C-alpha cells in the first residue's frame, strides 16, 4: 500500500485527483450495464479513440471538432477494459497525482491530465501499427502525470507501507523505483491483459514527454505558488 508523505503545511485541498478517480470508476460501472457484447462494443466505438482514424486536411479537423468526434480523445481516458486495467491506472494516478496536484494546484493539474491524455491518445491513433484499434484507458494521462512529477521532484522519495509478517513497516523509496514499477505493470499488461499486445505504447511515450515539458513550462508558476503557500 502506498501513502503520501505529508508536508509541514497544507497547500489547499486536493480534489482533482479524487474527482478523476471517481469519474473513471463511474464510467467503468456504466460500461458494464449493457448485457450484450455488441452493445458494449458500440459504446467503446462511441467513446473510445480509434487508431488510424485521423481527419485529413484542415477541413477534416474542423469537421471533427464541430461534430464532437475529437472529444473521444478525452472520453477514452475514462474507459477501461476491465478491473485490472482500471485499478492499475488509478493506483499510480493516486501515487503520483496527489503530490503533483499539491504542488501544481487542482486546475493546472486537470489541464495536465486532460490535455496530456488527449495528446497521448492522438499520438497513439497516429502512430500505432494496427489500424482500427480502439484506444481506451487513462495510461497516457497517467504517464503525463508521472512525467510531470519527475520534472517537479527529480530526487523525490515516496513513502510506502510494506507488509512484514504481522507488521506494517513504513519506508521511503526513490520515486524512480515506483516509475520503474509503473513501466513493469504496463509491460505485464501488454502480455497478459485483455487486449493482448494492444497497449498503446506511443500514448505512454507521448504522455510522459508532454508531462515533463508541461511541468518545466509551469515551473516558475509552481514555485511562486509554493512560496506563497509557505508564506516566504
pLDDT digits (tens, 9 = 90+) for 96-155: 899 899 889 999 999 999 999 999 999 888 877 667 788 899 989 999 999 998 888 877
Could you tell me which residues come within 8 angstroms of residue 105 by beta carbon, excluding any fewer than 6 positions away? 12, 225
Helices (H) and strands (E) in the chain, counts: 10, 4
Which sign, positive or negative, has the C-alpha torsion 17, 189, 173, 112? negative
Kindly tell me if the per-residue pLDDT of 81 is higher than 50.
yes
Q: What share of the chain is helix, strand, coil (3-state, %, to 5)?
A: 65, 10, 25
Distance CA 151, CA 225 (A): 16
Q: Is 1.20.1540.10 the CATH number for 16-230?
A: yes
CA distances from 52 to 16, 129, 183, 231 (A): 32, 9, 25, 50
Q: What is the pTM of this model?
A: 0.81
**pLDDT tens digits along 172-224:** 767 777 777 777 766 665 555 444 444 567 788 889 899 999 999 988 888 88
Q: Are 184 and 94 in contact (CB under 8 A)?
A: no
Residue 231 C-alpha cell reads as 508564506
Amino acid at each position: 500500500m502506498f501513502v503520501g508523505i505529508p508536508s509541514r503545511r497544507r497547500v489547499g485541498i486536493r480534489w482533482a485527483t479524487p474527482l478523476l478517480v471517481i469519474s473513471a470508476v463511474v464510467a467503468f460501472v456504466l460500461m458494464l450495464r449493457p448485457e450484450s457484447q455488441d452493445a458494449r462494443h458500440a459504446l467503446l466505438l462511441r467513446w473510445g479513440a480509434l487508431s488510424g482514424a485521423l481527419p485529413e486536411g484542415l477541413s477534416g479537423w474542423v469537421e471533427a471538432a464541430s461534430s464532437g468526434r475529437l472529444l473521444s480523445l478525452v472520453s477514452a481516458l475514462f474507459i477501461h477494459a476491465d478491473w485490472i486495467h482500471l485499478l492499475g491506472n488509478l493506483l499510480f494516478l493516486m501515487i503520483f497525482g496527489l503530490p503533483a496536484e499539491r504542488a501544481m494546484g487542482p486546475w493546472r493539474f486537470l489541464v495536465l491530465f486532460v490535455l496530456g491524455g488527449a495528446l497521448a491518445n492522438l499520438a497513439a491513433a497516429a502512430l500505432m501499427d494496427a489500424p482500427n484499434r480502439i484506444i481506451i484507458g487513462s495510461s497516457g494521462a497517467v504517464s503525463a502525470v508521472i512525467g510531470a512529477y519527475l520534472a517537479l521532484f527529480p530526487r523525490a522519495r515516496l513513502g510506502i507501507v510494506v507488509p512484514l509478517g504481522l507488521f506494517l513497516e513504513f519506508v521511503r523509496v526513490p520515486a524512480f523505483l515506483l516509475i520503474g514499477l509503473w513501466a513493469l505493470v504496463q509491460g505485464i499488461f501488454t502480455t497478459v491483459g485483455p487486449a493482448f499486445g494492444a497497449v498503446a505504447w506511443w500514448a505512454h511515450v507521448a504522455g510522459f514527454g508532454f508531462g515533463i515539458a508541461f511541468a518545466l513550462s509551469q515551473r516558475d508558476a509552481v514555485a511562486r505558488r509554493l512560496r506563497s503557500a509557505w508564506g516566504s
